[in-house]
Chains A and B, each alone.
Chain A
Amino acid sequence: MVSKELVIGALLIAVAVLGIALPLTYLSVTHKELRITSLGDLLRLSKIPVSILSSKELELIYSKYVNITKEGRLSIKCLNCVLVINNSLSNALSIKVFKSKSSLSSWLGVSEPKYEVRVGSDSVNVLVSNAVSVIELPTTSVHELSIEVANGVSKLLLSNINLNASLTLSNSVLKTDLRYLSKDGLRNQVSIHMSNSLAKLMIYCSDCRIKYLSRLANGLSRLYVDHEEVAKAVGSSTYVDKGFSESLRKLVISIEGSNSLAEVKVMRGGAD
């Protein structure tokens, strides 16, 4: 029979050895700037349940610009922005975009890169060209998504395949926050927060359960319950598709504040 002294002695030695081995492993592997060159690497390290569309360009981007830590932080760097995709929450992605043109340009060592990043067909697609002209995020797996843009995003496109919904914002979007809650449940919600200068808002939807909530920072001015009221408020019915189905009549759209709201467009999306 093994004595307790022997067991405790072995445990003490084991803890001491772990005290040396684990931190060194952590430093040498976990926080090292990892070069992601394959789908396997990304899946293993990022914990993002997606697949990568393989292409030479994509591999180049990942090998050069992607940094993933064990905590699930994925950063994609580009000329005009740094995208930090943090998937530390199991079903959530949060993306931050910060514009810093000159410093990042020199940091990357490239003058005018134009490239496209796709992280799986059903998760994150980021198309970044010169001035962050388009950021596209079609996803079925992302339940919560927040995007913070410093300035200068000329076009932001978000879509959800399951929801058949897409949103396009143009011009000077200062801050955008979108939340997809309970994808398969009865309550789906998209909320948009903008400081000012919203020039154009287009909402496409074919799912009556989706609630779009758009807020402008300058204060609540109107609340529109359905598409007819939206059309009336906009002052023209030309923007509203006459072919709304009965289910689409239940679409709830609320818009708060409209200092410089130029256009609201509600259209029928994919299949009814």
Chain B
Amino acid sequence: MWCASVDLLYDLGGIFTSPKTAFKIMVAEGRSNAYSLLTLSLFSVATTISVATVFIRGLIQPFVGPLVGLINYTTLIALPILAITVLLADIIRWLFEGGIAYLLVKVFGGRASYGNLLLVIGYSKASRVFIIATSLASSVITGPAVLGLVITGFVITLIIEVIIESLGISVTQNLSVGASVATVILTLVIEFVVILSIALATTSLTHLITGWW
């Protein structure tokens, strides 16, 4: 257990300091995907709770009296439910993203190991630490700067995530960095299009069934 924890810390530190080496070590040591799932889960829950709290804080600000208590009690019940829902969605996305990346790696002529792709994608979610940090930092400021800080966190996270995933895929799938970057970006685009299509289809179906728009 202790060794596993130390391995996880080394892995997380490694992907931020020297990602290529870190992923090489993980592949060589046959790192279990339980580690990437654990990383994904921890950062997913932390991101949901910290970002949601920023918005709740903004919502509460104008109120005094019983409304504040009511909002808080409601939030305390709703927040864990929201975090679990987002976590489940993130796990589904993780598996789905791995599948798309697997097909693209095959197209680009890489090694195409689904397990290693899940490992890379799962660990890359540690980049959400920037969203969490900016959300926590926003608690000491007020006004529009809060939103600006959180958006900055999102942008940094996206950039770091793409970098880590690209380097990880390059190492684990034996692809050039260019092909790896293309894989990551195309994966994100395809994922976005699919999610948007599902959302639109769901809305249309709801409209057809209930007549609600």
Contacts and interface: CB of A to CB of B under 8 A. Distances in A.
Contacts of A10: 9, 13
Contacts of B201: none
Contacts of B10: 3, 5-6, 9
Contacts of A118: none
Contacts of B17: 4-5, 8
Contacts of A15: 46, 129, 132-133, 136
A89 interface: no
Interface in B58-116: 60, 64-66, 68-69, 71-73, 75-76, 79
Contact of A20 (B49, B68, B76): B49
Given A27-B75, A27-B76, A32-B72, A9 B13 contact: yes
Given A19-B136, A22-B136, A31-B60, A12 B13 contact: yes
Given A9-B13, A23-B52, A82-B65, 16 more contacts: A5-B13, A5-B17, A8-B12, A16-B129, A18-B136, A19-B135, A20-B46, A22-B139, A24-B79, A26-B53, A27-B79, A31-B68, A31-B69, A32-B72, A33-B69, A84-B64
Contacts of B60: 31
A1 interface: no
Contacts of A77: 65
Interface stretch (A67-75, A174-182, A208-216, A256-264): A67-75
A80 to B, nearest CB: 15
Q: Lowest 6 CB-CB distances: which A-B pairs, in order?
A: A5-B13, A33-B69, A9-B9, A19-B46, A23-B53, A9-B13
A7 interface: yes
Contact of B139 (A4, A5, A24, A26): A26
Nearest to B67: A33
Given A15-B133, A19-B50, A33-B69, A5 B14 contact: yes
Interface string B1-33: 000001011111110110000100000000000
Contacts of B65: 33, 67, 75, 77, 82, 107
Chain B contact surface mostly: helix
A43 to B, nearest CB: 20
B180 interface: no
Contacts of B9: 5-6, 9-10, 13
A27 B42 CA distance: 20
A114 to B, nearest CB: 21
Interface string A89-105: 00000000000000000
A55 interface: no
A192 to B, nearest CB: 27
Nearest to B69: A33
A24 B77 CA distance: 11
Contacts of B45: 20
B13 A7 contact: yes
Nearest to A35: B69
Contacts of A20: 45-46, 49-50
Interface in B132-161: 132-133, 135-136, 139
7 contacts: A8-B16, A12-B126, A12-B129, A24-B76, A28-B76, A69-B68, A73-B64
A12 B72 contact: no
A45 to B, nearest CB: 14
B47 interface: yes
Nearest to A23: B53
B65 to A, nearest CB: 6
A233 B107 CA distance: 96
A271 interface: no
A15 B14 CA distance: 17
A10 B7 CA distance: 11
A23 B13 contact: no
Given A19-B135, A19-B136, A73-B64, A6 B72 contact: no
Contact of A12 (B12, B52, B64): B12
A17 interface: yes
A23 B133 CA distance: 12
A77 to B, nearest CB: 7
